[in-house]
Amino acid sequence: MLIRRLVAALVLASGAMFLAAQVPDDLAAQDAKLDKSALLKKFQERAKRKADRAKAEAEAKASADAKAKVEADAKAKAEADAAKPTAKVAPAETKPSKPMDVKAVAKFIDSQLDKELKAAKIDPSSRCSDAEFIRRATLDITGVIPTAERVTSFLASSEANKRETLIDELLASPRYGQRLSDIWSNQMVSMDSTTRFVTKQPLVKWLSESFNENKPWDRMAHDIISATGEQDKNGAVVYYMYNAGVDKMTDSVGKLFLGVQIQCAQCHNHPFTTWKQTEYWGMAQFFYNVNITIQRNGKQTDVVPGVSENMRGKGGKGNPLPESAKSVPAKFLGGETVKLTSSKPYRPVLADWLCTSENPFFSKSIVNRVWAQYFGRGLVNPIDDLSEENKPTHPELLQGLAKELSGGGFDLKNLVRAICLSDAYQRTSQPIPSNKADTVLYSHMAIKVLTPEQLYDSLTAVVGCESAAGRPMQKGGNPRQGNASPRDRFVSFFMGSENPKATEYEAGIPQALRLMNNPRLSGSSNVINGIAKSGDEPAKVIERMYLMTLSRKPTEAELKKLTGFIADSSDPKSGYSDVLWVLLNSSEFALNH
């Protein structure tokens, strides 16, 4: 059995891809020989100059006083207005002034990228094959490999717009929301000992439903930032339950929704950017009155988990503060100070400022995150470090896409459509000699490593059983929280660093052995019987396996060697089992190219 698998592994390996002049005015030193009339004249001129200067100073002072009065009146009016109910249209009521022209935006993307490639004298790689495209787009949009049947029909289609049709089909799939909920819940949830009895499922469900209904991003972010209520009625509150503490909330909101890292300014001025400690705590003021209710142990069954907001010292415990906390006026990050009304919640005020197209960070941040999802890196890297010190590789592209997104009503699906329709996204991952060293200009598609969620869902799509992930890590559920599904346990075991790079493989020997030694990945008799139907020629069975796992047909060389391998097997079904094992454990299966 081992020898057969080694032989089959060698066969597959043969086709794998890694893939300021002051003028003195002193007249004290005058010529002593001047006559009286000349001296008198000099003094008269001097007196005139002094009078003129005094008049000018008086006029300047009067002008400054008038300006100061205007500014004071404006400030007083602004403070008075801040205490009144705002007449601003909430994000939930905003409408796009004009839907995004996705094809025009796709061309804009290519024009910006091609301009930089031309300047660098780098040639782009060719257009990817249909097989590459369907696997790449399906994994990127829905988080799972396509079925063999869908691959077959896509490859056979001669329709000129079949790639555009596929993109629309994938965006309409419920798996689109699940894929984005996986990505965002991992970034929103901060695991520690205080949250081991907090479940993230209400948040996952809320995110999935919101993304699937294509809720505008400004409205969605506003709902999260201002979330209150019980977790079973409003899953968005779970975000705060996992980030209890004024500093944690400030740090997280800064990263996720503004794309900036301000945590280093909590205790001192930021050493690498212009953020000051007073700006950090000005932003933090908006979270001072958030109250979190969570279960601290398994016996608190009468506790109703949720989030509320009320005045500190008036019935609520308030949000925990670190020793570094500073009492400063509330201030929008990089913006103006604001007078908060103690009788009203603070976070909606922050959300009203943050979730708008006028905010200098909001639109750019989400564009950068979506771009990184599809290209393996952001236009600004790291994706949560937008700052003057960390310039984007393509500033005009980032600015243009941010403007298109906000102008189109923050429609994320349209942003994805535009990206996936671009020539840049549809380039092959195979480099050519002139662009092999390029990692930032998008001359060829980056090869991305499947996330734990993508890997699990793709494995189960092939073997058709949730237990394909293997035995649980420990009895009773997730090692960190509550009762967990096989998928949760698999993801926990295969999860790498906190912020893994999409293009770096972080799994190690334990993860590889778990897959290699799992008999399920050889296929149960039912799986093999479903693949190797009675009377089918070996070539047809092998082709079906490739379509199921790698979303492509085998090359002639692969087909020739593997049919020979099956012919030399005493039991064809055992041989097919070995081939399936090799395909599922191959680097090509674990990568998205």
**Whether residue 441 has pLDDT greater than 60:** yes
112: pLDDT confidence band, cut at 50, 70 and 90?
A: very high
**Whether residue 70 has pLDDT greater than 80:** no
Both 331 and 194 in one domain: the answer is yes
Residue 241 lies in a domain: yes
Question: Which CA distances in Å does 77 have to 123, 143, 318, 442?
Answer: 58, 51, 31, 50
64: pLDDT confidence band, cut at 50, 70 and 90?
A: low
Residue 170 lies in a domain: no
Q: Domain boundary at 289, 322, 354, which?
A: 354
Residue 449 parent element (H or E): strand 448-449
301: pLDDT confidence band, cut at 50, 70 and 90?
A: confident
Q: What is the pLDDT of residue 519?
A: 76
**Whether residue 162 has pLDDT greater than 70:** yes
- The mean pLDDT of 156-184, rounded to a whole number, is 98
Residue 581 lies in a domain: no
Q: What is the pLDDT of residue 211?
A: 98
Q: What is the pLDDT of residue 20?
A: 36
The answer, yes or no, to whether the previous bond of 322 is cis (omega within 30 of 0) is: no
Quote the domain boundaries for residue 454: 448-520
- Higher per-residue confidence, 321 vs 7: 321
Q: Domain boundary at 294, 319, 354, which?
A: 354
Q: Domain boundary at 354, 369, 402, which?
A: 354
Both 347 and 464 in one domain: the answer is no
Listed range (184-198, 213-227, 293-307, 563-577) with the worst mean pLDDT: 293-307
The answer to whether residues 483 and 476 touch, using CB atoms and an 8 Å cutoff, is yes
Both 349 and 456 in one domain: the answer is no
The span from the CA of 60 to the CA of 55, in Å, is 9
Give residue for tokens 């009065």: 69
Residue 228 lies in a domain: yes
- Higher per-residue confidence, 139 vs 572: 139
The span from the CA of 443 to the CA of 155, in Å, is 25
Residue 479 lies in a domain: yes
- The mean pLDDT of 120-140, rounded to a whole number, is 98
Both 349 and 201 in one domain: the answer is yes
Q: What is the pLDDT of residue 183?
A: 96
Radius of gyration over alpha carbons of the chain, in Å?
32
The span from the CA of 413 to the CA of 370, in Å, is 10
The arrangement of strands across the sheet holding 229-230 comes to 229-230, 306-309, 290-293
Q: What is the pLDDT of residue 297?
A: 73
**Whether residue 467 has pLDDT greater than 50:** no
pLDDT per position as a tens digit, 31-52: 444 344 444 454 456 556 656 6
- Helices assigned H by DSSP within 475-549: 486-494, 509-516, 525-531, 538-549
Both 205 and 334 in one domain: the answer is yes
Mean pLDDT across the chain: 83
The DSSP letter of residue 448 is E
Listed range (61-65, 72-76, 113-117, 514-518) with the worst mean pLDDT: 72-76
pTM of the model: 0.82
- Reference 219, options 102, 95, 340, 399; nearest CA is 95
Q: What is the pLDDT of residue 58?
A: 63
The span from the CA of 435 to the CA of 310, in Å, is 57
Give residue for tokens 């909001």: 362
- The mean pLDDT of 53-80, rounded to a whole number, is 56
Both 209 and 318 in one domain: the answer is yes
Q: What is the pLDDT of residue 3?
A: 54
**Whether residue 210 has pLDDT greater than 50:** yes
Q: What is the pLDDT of residue 40?
A: 47
Residue 456 lies in a domain: yes
- The mean pLDDT of 241-263, rounded to a whole number, is 93
The answer to whether residues 19 and 586 touch, using CB atoms and an 8 Å cutoff, is no
Both 341 and 238 in one domain: the answer is yes
Torsional class of 436: left (φ above 0), alpha (ψ -120 to 50), beta (otherwise): alpha
- Reference 368, options 254, 259, 210, 216; nearest CA is 259
Both 349 and 481 in one domain: the answer is no
- Higher per-residue confidence, 175 vs 512: 175
- Reference 240, options 249, 230, 232, 231; nearest CA is 249
Residue 178 lies in a domain: no
- The mean pLDDT of 377-391, rounded to a whole number, is 92
SS3 490: helix
Residue 41 lies in a domain: no
Chain centroid to CA 89: 27
Q: What is the pLDDT of residue 165?
A: 98
How many separate domains does the chain show? 2
